[in-house]
Structure 1
Amino acid sequence: MCGIVGYIGNQNSQGILVEGLKKLEYRGYDSAGIAVFTKDGLQIVKSLGRLANLENKLEGHPLVGSAGIGHTRWATHGKPSDANSHPHTDETHKFSVVHNGIIENYLELKEQLMAEGRHFSSETDTEVISHLIAREYDGDIVKAVQKAIQFMRGAFALGVLTEYEPDKLVAVRQASPLIIGLGDGENFIGSDIPALLEYTRNVYILNDGEMAVLSRDAVELMTIEGNFISREMITVDWDAVTAEKGGYEHFMLKEIHEQPKAYRDTMLGRMNPEGTKVILPELKMTEEQIKNIKNVQIVACGTAYHAGLVGRNLIESLARIPVENDIASEYRYRSPIVTPETLVIVVSQSGETADTLAALREGHANGAHVLAITNVVGSSIAREADDVLVTLAGPEIAVASTKAYTSQIIAFALFALYLAEVRGTQSEKEIAHILAAMQSLPEQVESILEKKDDIKAYAEHISKHEHLFYLGRGVDYAVAQESSLKLKEISYIHSEAYAAGELKHGTLALIEEGVPVIALATQEAVLEKTVSNIKEVKARGGEVLAITHQEHVNDLLKSVDRVIAIPKTLPMLTPALSIVTTQLLAYYASLALGHDVDKPRNLAKSVTVE
């Protein structure tokens, strides 16, 4: 899950490569490097750590040349180090490669190449690629790359340069994202669109098994077998400012504040003018197919998996279809029972999550209809699914997902209501009532954001503790799991989420004097039981913060230490509000501890390897 960039044109490439890498550093930041054709040949500068370390090196050793490639790394093979940083070369230093993905058979290939007398200088799988290309080179870099990738098994997006043909930049995509940017007398490659927006809005999105040959004045697209192809150019209409912090201290805080807009945008055009009926014109599923659905399997990873837990509640409550949730990395290996009447829903912010893509293919292989919920049009998951619901959250830069998660909840609500309409499991009046409540959510989120100073004060308090627990029942438990993940991934405070009713089955042993416990208490049907569980925690010395509706504040203050009130909405929609509070708690706790909020240690934004 690394980020790659490439440039060939008439400008000095160093600045363009570094700026592109800054937009991709969310994909990995263990190390960074660039390779540039200079008057002295192919030159490489790379460095362990953040991109700033590379910039410092380049100040003392600038690379001057109009063609180059760059890389920001999240380590998969070989520890983070200067030697393991990309770009990699063969031992002659005439061929240079940047790579996003994993070469699964690299050890086998490395042994073969070493037996042939080739010497390696890193522990990475990527270095194998540069040696393969060098071995296969016979005066044509395009053919050499095509021959080399025939030996490789795995996922790869590649940028390749050779000193022998300095007027060409070769790009390849196989199961890892890659974008081609088109300019005037210059062309670009990048792992993601934000890396290119400063320079061009005209792009090609490569599909798996495709490659591009870039020169200053042209881009040739072809399959990896060498068959030329044509592709419609896409003009990106994103405002480049959306990829910047916009005055906020961190991308995460900016993206938390963008949630009201993300809610509105995801709902936009998906209701009739009266706001009483869901309209999903992008779906290809027929009404007959929808009526024949016997079960639903929601498959995702991490935060998207937690959105799927809320989605399960929405689909079962509204459409009355049984739903299972699966972690994508486990799905294939449990031999899931899938029939043509099974609907598999895969959820991924990036649309490139490797495990989720594999689950999608497993669903297809077993005859299921697959619906994707993703934030990226043209992503692998979006292209391979039978149907797609795009969440219109816009670019999300912070590693910790916020607006992508809540937009996924909105998408699930819309889809569940659509199923209910078609299957007749809810009345028109009830559907209109729920849609009205959904349209109020953006304004309600804004009211939560206005009270962020109160949340900040409590976050600074919990930042002094090593352990914290979240409790909840029903969808509150689903939100507790996502809330706990947010706190862990950016503050590094040990946090766990538990179903409140499970406390007495072992978890109470962890509660001791002064331990913070955050109880989500928004579900009217189980509120009394949740309060009972809170009292169990208090009896063991736990310090409890409750998140609830304003009407329950006074009663809850008799049992808890503090209360944060959120606006009232329908119980099934409450996750879209309560999570905003816990996102802010995680953010301010991390800030109080002095951590890098946008780039938590050991994590990367888009997990494109298994």
Structure 2
Amino acid sequence: MCGIVGYLGKKETKEILLDGLRELEYRGYDSAGIAVLENGHFSNFKAVGKLINLEEKTKNFKTDGFAIGIGHTRWATHGKPTELNAHPHLGESSYVVHNGIIENYATLKKELQNSGITFLSQTDTEVIVHQFEKNLKLCKDSFEAFAKTIKELHGAYAILLVTKSNPETIFFAKHGSPMLVGINDEDEKYFASSDTPLIGHCKSVSYFEDGDYGYVTSDEITIFNALDIKKEAKFSALSQNKLLAQKDGFRFFMEKEIYEQSVVISDTLMGRLREDEVVFDELDSTLFDGINEIKLCACGTSYHSAMSASYLFERYSKIKTSLEIASEFRYREPIMTKDTLFVAISQSGETADTLETLKMAKAAGLKTLVICNVDNSSMVRVADAAILTRAGIEKGVASTKAFATQVVVFWMLSLYVAKLKGSLTKMEIAAHISTLREVPSHVKVDDEMHERIKRVSKRYLHGHGFFFIGRDIFYPLALEGALKLKEISYLHAEGYPAGEMKHGPIALADPELFTIALLPKHLHYEKSKSNVEELSARDSTICAISQIPFDKADDFIEITTCESYMLEFFEMMVVVQLLSLEISIRLGNDVDMPRNLAKSVTVE
């Protein structure tokens, strides 16, 4: 989740930009940079890793009087985390920062290269500044060139651009990625991709709408909409509560993180999907050479995502896949063979048990891969290769968006391996990629559904326990749903394979046993329905989650129409997350800081 800041005014510009980037650190990043234009001269600084590295590079730099500046924190999408790939990106006399993805960048880049332009980075963003400077030679002024450039870009973006040809102006554009401008009584202008960097600097802010573009100077804010019609900025008061701003008005960080899964999944997909193939620039194509088995190892929520992956790898990649709980694996003297790819999964990259198993695999000579959310974490440094999930910092202890992005990465990776192994045709992979592109829209929280879940939750505050049940890949989702409820409500819950209920657990069935039934239309629906009917016949209270109404349910939560069981998976994931959230809130618990738990388990 990249972050943007911008400033126009007479104060010390570097410090304002760095302070703003610090407020965006919680979103996650792997590199950062700033560019400042003062007295017609550019100063530009970039660094890989944490902001402290950028601070060190800029410690001897200061502005004196009026200046304009832009800054950025980057999650790598096109190209690895390097200084060359970090923003801002330079043209001949202009700099740009950008969140989002330019879908037609390859076409634009080829045209620019054919005209003699040399690119320094692997990013899509660099196209913007070169396209602008190409248009600047054809247009009567900088703003006309900027407007023309924006019309030529396809995709999602929030853009700030500064140029020597207008040394007292910041150009901006917004489509699909958030951007706002703030003002104060000192004729200063502040830009950011969220509220928090502006708190303490601005009294009011204006949120740009999709299609808006324009420019700011000390004296004016000029905005045009997508139809090129000039419009007035609509300002509203800015809350001065940083914690509330970071929560974006949500009651808890966990709730905010459930809502932002659509955005982080889009970030996870960004730059990795082609028409009929998945591309992981961070992987060497030889990683899977000689590999006949994938061994997945994790703890907690990451273990559930790994279990989901085991279905995908065997179904699509046709490769033997085994699953290990890290805390057990490291003590049982496991047999490890060199034709096995060892995959460790962790949100933080510091989970002690998982890290130790990774070291064991390395010592045994296995190839190793880490699926992680934190660059430069211990696991990323130890492994042969790593895929970052780009979920941003997750402040709620009970993981939500980390699980979602891990499963998306595994789905993509199963298609990547399927191409290498020839287990799916190009047409089949293309169909999966088309479905993957739909996931962000299917995890957007529908207000009406959320309200329905709030009302339903009051029925499930007591009783002697919960069964979350599902079949196939919905079994690990049932495990994850039960874990979420346990973590934040302190109620007993178990995830179970639906077909196993009659092998013992059904003895617990009565009205005070609550069954959360995952009933996907496109995967074993009739068999799962039959299992739920057995529980209903024994008076268990049933909450069914499905796109097909279930007449024996005491409560029915309807998901939208989906043409794939994987889309049903992600919609049901959101439902069980929200149900756990609302039950916990009704019980008066601290959702973000559940008792006895820590976000990163760094001890055995």
TM-score range, shorter chain: 0.5 to 0.7
Q: What is the CA–CA distance in structure 2 between the aligned matches of 1:308 and 1:449, rounded to whole Å?
A: 30
Q: Please give the secondary structure, in 2, of the residue aligned with 1:589.
A: helix
Instruction: Tell me, yes or no, if the aligned pair for 1:311 and 1:412 is still in contact at 8 Å.
Output: yes
Q: Please give the secondary structure, in 1, of the residue aligned with 2:595.
A: coil
Q: Please give the secondary structure, in 2, of the residue aligned with 1:497.
A: strand
Q: Please give the secondary structure, in 2, of the residue aligned with 1:266.
A: helix
Q: What is the CA–CA distance in structure 2 between the aligned matches of 1:519 and 1:376, rounded to whole Å?
A: 34
Match of 1:393 in 2: 391
* 1:485 equivalenced with 2:483 (yes/no): yes
Q: Please give the secondary structure, in 1, of the residue aligned with 2:368.
A: strand
Match of 1:96 in 2: none
Query: Pairwise mapping of residues 155-194 of structure 1 onto structure 2 (< 5 A)?
Result: none
Match of 1:246 in 2: 248
Distance 1:449 1:281, change over 3 A: farther
Question: Which range moved further: 598-607 or 568-577?
Answer: 568-577
Q: Give how far 1:180 is off.
A: 5.7
Q: Give how far 1:334 is off.
A: 2.1
Match of 2:268 in 1: 266
Distance 1:453 1:294, change over 3 A: same
Match of 1:154 in 2: none
Match of 1:310 in 2: 308
Q: Give how far 1:434 is off.
A: 0.8
Deviations 1:444-497 (A, max 9, x none): 111545521011111222123342111111111110000000000001111111
Instruction: Tell me, yes or no, if the aligned pair for 1:181 and 1:201 is still in contact at 8 Å.
Output: no
Match of 1:406 in 2: 404
Deviations 1:77-133 (A, max 9, x none): xxxxxxxxxxxxxxxxxxxxxxxxxxxxxxxxxxxxxxxxxxxxxxxxxxxxxxxxx
Query: Pairwise mapping of residues 90-109 of structure 1 onto structure 2 (< 5 A)?
Result: none
Q: Please give the secondary structure, in 2, of the residue aligned with 1:520.
A: strand
In structure 1, which of residues 255, 258, 282 is the aligned counterpart of residue 257 of structure 2?
A: 255
Q: Please give the secondary structure, in 2, of the residue aligned with 1:277.
A: coil
Q: Give how far 1:323 is off.
A: 0.8
Deviations 1:406-447 (A, max 9, x none): 000000011110000111100111111111111111111115
Instruction: Tell me, yes or no, if the aligned pair for 1:476 and 1:523 is still in contact at 8 Å.
Output: no
Q: Give how far 1:401 is off.
A: 0.4
Q: What is the CA–CA distance in structure 1 between the aligned matches of 2:491 and 2:351, rounded to whole Å?
A: 26
Deviations 1:371-429 (A, max 9, x none): 11000011111111111110011111000000011000000011110000111100111
Task: Supply the AA of the counterpart residue of 1:561.
Answer: D
Deviations 1:222-259 (A, max 9, x none): xxxxxxxxxxxxxxx99794982121111000000010
Match of 1:597 in 2: 591
Percent sequence identity is 39
Deviations 1:180-200 (A, max 9, x none): 67758999xxxxxxxxxxxx9
Q: Please give the secondary structure, in 1, of the residue aligned with 2:331.
A: helix
Match of 2:123 in 1: none
Question: Which range moved further: 600-609 or 325-334?
Answer: 325-334
In structure 2, which of residues 548, 568, 577 is the aligned counterpart of residue 583 of structure 1?
A: 577
Q: What is the CA–CA distance in structure 2 between the aligned matches of 1:320 and 1:375, rounded to whole Å?
A: 27
Q: Give how far 1:514 is off.
A: 3.7
Distance 1:185 1:522, change over 3 A: closer
Instruction: Tell me, yes or no, if the aligned pair for 1:491 and 1:589 is still in contact at 8 Å.
Output: yes
Match of 1:283 in 2: 283
Q: Please give the secondary structure, in 1, of the residue aligned with 2:532.
A: helix
Deviations 1:330-352 (A, max 9, x none): 11222222222101111000111
Match of 1:512 in 2: 510
**TM-score calculated relative to the size of structure 2:** 0.60
In structure 1, which of residues 533, 541, 547 is the aligned counterpart of residue 531 of structure 2?
A: 533
Question: Which range moved further: 462-471 or 376-385?
Answer: 462-471
Instruction: Tell me, yes or no, if the aligned pair for 2:522 and 2:563 is still in contact at 8 Å.
Output: no
Distance 1:331 1:581, change over 3 A: same
Q: What is the CA–CA distance in structure 1 between the aligned matches of 2:73 and 2:341, rounded to whole Å?
A: 36
Distance 1:572 1:366, change over 3 A: farther
In structure 1, which of residues 558, 564, 571 is the aligned counterpart of residue 565 of structure 2?
A: 571
Q: What is the CA–CA distance in structure 1 between the aligned matches of 2:277 and 2:73, rounded to whole Å?
A: 36
Match of 1:5 in 2: none
Instruction: Tell me, yes or no, if the aligned pair for 1:474 and 1:523 is still in contact at 8 Å.
Output: no
Q: What is the CA–CA distance in structure 2 between the aligned matches of 1:477 and 1:449, rounded to whole Å?
A: 27
Task: Supply the AA of the counterpart residue of 1:441.
Answer: V
Match of 2:179 in 1: none
Task: Supply the AA of the counterpart residue of 2:517.
Answer: A
Q: Give how far 1:510 is off.
A: 1.1
Q: What is the CA–CA distance in structure 1 between the aligned matches of 2:602 and 2:302, rounded to whole Å?
A: 14
Q: Give how far 1:536 is off.
A: 1.1
Q: What is the CA–CA distance in structure 1 between the aligned matches of 2:421 and 2:377, rounded to whole Å?
A: 30
- RMSD of equivalent CA atoms: 2.8
Task: Supply the AA of the counterpart residue of 2:371.
Answer: I
Q: Give how far 1:361 is off.
A: 0.6
Q: What is the CA–CA distance in structure 2 between the aligned matches of 1:328 and 1:414, rounded to whole Å?
A: 23
* 1:439 equivalenced with 2:437 (yes/no): yes
Deviations 1:516-540 (A, max 9, x none): 1111111634211111111110111
Q: What is the CA–CA distance in structure 2 between the aligned matches of 1:400 and 1:260, rounded to whole Å?
A: 18
Q: What is the CA–CA distance in structure 2 between the aligned matches of 1:367 and 1:478, rounded to whole Å?
A: 30
How many residue pairs are counted as aligned between the two chains?
384
Task: Supply the AA of the counterpart residue of 1:590.
Answer: S
Query: Pairwise mapping of residues 492-507 of structure 1 onto structure 2 (< 5 A)?
Result: 492-507=490-505
Q: Give how far 1:285 is off.
A: 4.0
Q: What is the CA–CA distance in structure 1 between the aligned matches of 2:407 and 2:483, rounded to whole Å?
A: 17
Instruction: Tell me, yes or no, if the aligned pair for 2:259 and 2:445 is still in contact at 8 Å.
Output: no
Q: Please give the secondary structure, in 2, of the residue aligned with 1:334.
A: coil
Q: Give how far 1:178 is off.
A: 10
Match of 2:238 in 1: none
Instruction: Tell me, yes or no, if the aligned pair for 1:295 and 1:321 is still in contact at 8 Å.
Output: yes
Q: What is the CA–CA distance in structure 2 between the aligned matches of 1:329 and 1:523, rounded to whole Å?
A: 36
Q: What is the CA–CA distance in structure 1 between the aligned matches of 2:536 and 2:336, rounded to whole Å?
A: 45
Instruction: Tell me, yes or no, if the aligned pair for 1:349 and 1:375 is still in contact at 8 Å.
Output: yes
Q: Please give the secondary structure, in 2, of the residue aligned with 1:432.
A: helix
Q: What is the CA–CA distance in structure 2 between the aligned matches of 1:420 and 1:332, rounded to whole Å?
A: 30
Q: What is the CA–CA distance in structure 1 between the aligned matches of 2:255 and 2:467, rounded to whole Å?
A: 23
Q: Please give the secondary structure, in 1, of the residue aligned with 2:335.
A: coil
* 1:324 equivalenced with 2:335 (yes/no): no
Q: Please give the secondary structure, in 2, of the residue aligned with 1:574.
A: helix
Q: What is the CA–CA distance in structure 1 between the aligned matches of 2:279 and 2:58, rounded to whole Å?
A: 43
Distance 1:591 1:447, change over 3 A: closer
Instruction: Tell me, yes or no, if the aligned pair for 2:276 and 2:433 is still in contact at 8 Å.
Output: yes
Query: Pairwise mapping of residues 141-160 of structure 1 onto structure 2 (< 5 A)?
Result: none
Q: Please give the secondary structure, in 2, of the residue aligned with 1:310.
A: helix
